[in-house]
């Protein structure tokens, strides 16, 4: 489906209120008495495209993308049931199987998966996905370190007057703490990140509720399953998840690429800028103090 902007002719995303390239509002007022097609729901606005199912004209506010990439009006779009992700069918599939299948679909087919996924989901369901993702991200690496500790010969610990059994007990305790803390901290971080991203969306005046932002944010953590490969998840998964978050926000929020990218990247970029700026200030102050001496 290719819908051109009336001003710059760049292709626009159905549901967007303005062109992501030139900024022109897509909600163009109709001229009374003119022959231009107008929206069937909002006759005061010009039509952007006709619905492929019912044939009614739809403005930018009413236009949606169908499952086969066809233009649909809001009424026809709402009649098309959204697909349930495997995670939404965990009572049928089992939690671990549903989690694995969802990670596979999101990581390997993100655009198709998010385009047909239900935007809404309960807070508990989203946080549960975040908890499992963070557990997967750290489990194998933590287990590897525990195995290394248990493999240390007793002679090496006795050199430092350390009991081997006591050393192993402490290592096992640290492993247990990490296994409990990882999912808990993962849920907390997901809540905070989603809240900050949702604030950015609110500033852009998007109308989707917080549950949609949280669901998109946590589903984008699917690459954390790479954590089953020791030391792999912590380096590759975060960047992969950030890219998936843009796709998830665009599809589930039914918004443009620009709005989705800003919602996903604004907080990380601002955080990076503040940290970099803080380090730069500390380095500058240190350098000035050194010159003064």
CATH number for the domain that contains residue 60: 3.30.40
Q: How far is CA 74 from CA 63, 115, 129, 147, 281, in A?
A: 6, 15, 30, 56, 52
pLDDT, residue 68, reads 60
Higher-scoring residue by pLDDT: 109, 81: 109
The structural domain count of the chain equals 2
116 with 222, same domain: the answer is: yes
| 65/13 Cα distance (integer angstroms) | 8
Q: Please, which pLDDT band fits residue 69 given cuts at 50, 70 and 90?
A: low
161 with 270, same domain: the answer is: yes
134 with 178, same domain: the answer is: yes
Indicate the pairing of strand 71-73 with strand 57-58: unpaired
pLDDT digits (tens, 9 = 90+) for 252-272: 988 889 999 999 999 888 888
pLDDT, residue 237, reads 87
pLDDT, residue 190, reads 95
pLDDT for residue 207 is more than 80: no
Secondary structure class of 127 (helix, strand, coil): helix
202 with 173, same domain: the answer is: yes
pLDDT for residue 293 is more than 80: no
**Which one of 82, 103, 131 terminates a domain?**
82
Lowest mean pLDDT among 56-65, 101-110, 282-291: 282-291
Average pLDDT over the chain, rounded to an integer: 85
113 with 43, same domain: the answer is: no
CB atoms within 10 A of CB 216: 31
Q: Please, which pLDDT band fits residue 195 given cuts at 50, 70 and 90?
A: very high
pLDDT, residue 61, reads 85
**Which one of 82, 103, 138 terminates a domain?**
82
pLDDT for residue 274 is more than 70: yes
Identify the domain containing residue 226 by its residue range.
Answer: 94-291
Mean pLDDT of 201-217: 88
Which position has the token pair 């954590």? 227
pLDDT digits (tens, 9 = 90+) for 148-157: 888 888 777 6
89 falls within a domain: no
pLDDT for residue 4 is more than 90: no
| 56/49 Cα distance (integer angstroms) | 9
42 with 152, same domain: the answer is: no
pLDDT digits (tens, 9 = 90+) for 41-52: 999 998 888 888
pLDDT for residue 108 is more than 80: yes
176 with 231, same domain: the answer is: yes
Q: Which helix (H) or strand (E) holds 57?
A: strand 57-58
User: Residue 38, Cα to own-chain centre: how many angstroms?
Assistant: 36
pLDDT, residue 87, reads 94
**Which one of 82, 112, 133 terminates a domain?**
82
88 falls within a domain: no
The proportion of the chain whose per-residue pLDDT surpasses 70, expressed as a percent, equals 92
102 with 78, same domain: the answer is: no
215 with 135, same domain: the answer is: yes
65 with 104, same domain: the answer is: no
40 with 103, same domain: the answer is: no
36 with 78, same domain: the answer is: yes
């Amino acid at each position: 489906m290719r819908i051109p902007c009336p001003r710059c002719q760049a292709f626009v995303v159905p549901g967007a209120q303005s062109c992501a390239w030139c900024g022109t509002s897509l909600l163009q007022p109709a001229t009374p008495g003119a022959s231009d097609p107008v929206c069937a729901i909002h006759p005061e606005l010009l039509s952007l495209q006709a619905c492929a199912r019912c044939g009614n004209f739809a403005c930018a506010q009413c236009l949606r993308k169908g499952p086969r990439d066809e233009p649909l009006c809001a009424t026809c779009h709402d009649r098309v049931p959204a697909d349930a992700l495997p995670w939404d069918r965990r009572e049928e599939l089992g939690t671990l199987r549903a989690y694995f299948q969802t990670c596979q679909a999101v990581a390997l087919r993100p655009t198709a998966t998010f385009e047909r996924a239900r935007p809404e989901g309960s807070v508990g369901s989203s946080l549960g996905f975040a908890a499992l993702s963070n557990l997967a991200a750290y489990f194998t690496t933590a287990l590897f370190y525990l195995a290394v500790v248990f493999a240390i010969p007793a002679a090496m610990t006795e050199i430092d007057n350390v009991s081997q059994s006591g050393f192993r007990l402490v290592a096992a305790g640290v492993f247990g703490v990490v296994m409990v803390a990882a999912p808990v901290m993962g849920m907390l971080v997901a809540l905070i990140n989603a809240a900050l991203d949702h604030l950015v969306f609110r500033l852009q005046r998007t109308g989707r509720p917080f549950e949609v932002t949280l669901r998109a944010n946590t589903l984008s953590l699917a690459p954390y399953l790479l954590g089953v490969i020791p030391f792999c998840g912590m380096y590759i998964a975060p960047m992969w998840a950030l890219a998936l978050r843009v796709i998830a926000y665009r599809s589930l929020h039914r918004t443009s690429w620009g709005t989705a990218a800003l919602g996903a990247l604004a907080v990380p970029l601002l955080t990076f800028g503040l940290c970099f700026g803080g380090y730069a200030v500390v380095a500058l102050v240190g350098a000035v103090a050194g010159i003064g001496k």
